Amino acid sequence: MASARPSRRSTGPVPDPHVIVLFGATGDLARRKLLPGLFHLAKAGLLPSRYRIVGSAPAQAALGDDAFRKHAREAVEEFGRAKPDGRAWQEFEETLRFGAADSDDPGPLLAAVRDAERDIGGSPRRLFHLAVPPAAFTSVVELLGATGLAEDARLIVEKPFGTDLPSARALNDTIHAVVDESRVFRIDHFLGKESVDNILALRFANGLFEPIWNRDHISHVQIDVPESIGIEGRAQFFEGTGTFRDMIVTHLFQLLGFVAMEPPTALNAKCLRDETEKVFETMEPLDPAQVVRGQYEGYRQEPGVAPHSDTETFVALRVRLENWRWAGVPFYLRSGKSLGQGRHVVTLGFREPALRMFPDDARRGAGAQGNRLVIDFADPGRIAARFLVKDPGPAMHLGTADMTFSYAESFNSLHALEGYERLILDAMLGDQSLFTRADGIERLWAASTPLLENPPPVQPYAQGSWGPDAVRRLIAPYHWYLPDR
């Protein structure tokens, strides 16, 4: 197959020298994911030979270089897979700087970037990671434009990419006024998960699955991402966002794009993103009657939540794609907080055989179920074909069997990267394959408009359950495959 995509995975190119600027360096995302992730990349030898990381925040939250190093060490200590010690930490720590930035005073940031570039020498690339709340986004982008820092720079943008179609368009206009789309990396950490890439490998590197990956053989698809955690003290963010915007428009729709896409003509950013965009183009506008919004009992008592809040902490919905491959095949998507388990599972349910020659009572108990392909993309992930087999014995009884591929058992995942790590590295290499394009995100908001304008009321559900009862009716005549044990 012709491939224009950099063959990073086989040869492992290392990015050019870089100055990485982390806006929101003292925030939650930087602490939990970005700083530990950058250190892990450094320790794995995947960062450039010469680089500096400049933390930034408004003056009121500014730190000195030493305090930033301490902050980073504590973050890595608490959340990192690689512990902050030894020579590796010492070398990493030396690359850290801090430069405060406010719209009316970008001076300290400019000085820190200039120092970092002088330390590195030559003409390092600039990568700006905007881990800032939506309210701060425009002013940071404008600052990058006004100071000239954005010139030739790459921009990693965190979700939410707007809250509806007009705001997404406005956001894209703001970005494009300063940085060309070819240098914009809208990050969705789900797409950095190993098993998501593996959907491409499974579908397009084998002749086994693709011939049956369509409406002739598949009756329905489930993309199920329940979470057992609650809102974890993020009431301020969550109240204004809700599960639909937090999880569905971003993560689950992106997964849908990969599961449903046509074979790309090459494995490069343009072809891959053209194909996911086509999936989004064919998405029927969401029908509020096919959406269940839920709210876990006790949510309104969480600190910072309004006593009559209508924010959903759970969504299940039916999505239809109007194209030749998927016409008539419902896609069921579900995600929510405080549910029975935390899982990430895509299940393809296959059509029943044409002739039902095994009577229902041949299925031992109600439990014997087969006929599906399960892609579990929890890191490190696994794929299972679940089918019915004959239960040994004199009578023709059927039982459930699994043919399972497990990443952990099949490969040494010591060098595996977390979603964020993988994607930050891709951004440094300029590979946009796993990043959302402006037209794609606008199309998703357009399809979401009927739901946003006319959301059904939230229905309560017990913590630890699987959502309001209405989710069972939504999926009938099928049933949710989770919980599976």
Residues designated catalytic:
251
Q: Nearest residue by C-beta to ligand BG6?
A: 246
Complete DSSP assignment for 391-407: ESSSS-EEEEEEEEEEH
How far, in Å, are 6, 8, 268, 274, 296 from residue 3 at the CA level?
Answer: 8, 12, 7, 15, 47
Please, what sign has the CA dihedral across residues 48, 49, 52, 53?
A: positive
Q: Are 53 and 463 in contact (CB under 8 A)?
A: no
How far, in Å, are 107, 206, 336, 368 from residue 117 at the CA level?
Answer: 15, 46, 44, 63
Q: What is the dihedral of CA 334, 335, 341, 346, to 10 degrees?
A: 50
Q: CB 287 → ligand BG6: shortest distance, Å?
A: 25
In the complex with ligand BG6, which residue's Cβ is closer, 246 or 442? 246
Q: CB 191 → ligand BG6: shortest distance, Å?
A: 11
Residue 234, judged by CB atoms within 10 A of its CB (0-12, 13-18, 19+), counts as middle
In the complex with ligand BG6, which residue's Cβ is closer, 131 or 178? 131
Q: CB 244 → ligand BG6: shortest distance, Å?
A: 12
CB-CB neighbours of 342 under 10 Å: 12
Q: Are 380 and 409 in contact (CB under 8 A)?
A: no
How far, in Å, are 7, 79, 241, 310, 332 from residue 226 at the CA level?
Answer: 34, 22, 17, 20, 13
Q: Please report which helix (H) or strand (E) contains residue 36, including its range.
A: helix 35-43
In the complex with ligand BG6, which residue's Cβ is closer, 227 or 442? 227
How far, in Å, are 13, 76, 190, 281, 287 from residue 82 at the CA level?
Answer: 22, 7, 21, 42, 46
In the complex with ligand BG6, which residue's Cβ is closer, 246 or 431? 246
In the complex with ligand BG6, which residue's Cβ is closer, 158 or 277? 158
The CA distance from 349 to 220, in Å, is 5
Q: CB 423 → ligand BG6: shortest distance, Å?
A: 12
Q: CB 405 → ligand BG6: shortest distance, Å?
A: 21
Helix (H, G, I), strand (E, B) or coil at 86: helix
Q: CB 241 → ligand BG6: shortest distance, Å?
A: 8
Two tokens at 474? Answer: 């939504």
In the complex with ligand BG6, which residue's Cβ is closer, 250 or 268? 250
Q: CB 227 → ligand BG6: shortest distance, Å?
A: 5
Residue numbers at the binding site for ligand BG6 (CB under 6 A): 189, 227, 246
In the complex with ligand BG6, which residue's Cβ is closer, 13 or 27? 27
The CA distance from 122 to 208, in Å, is 50
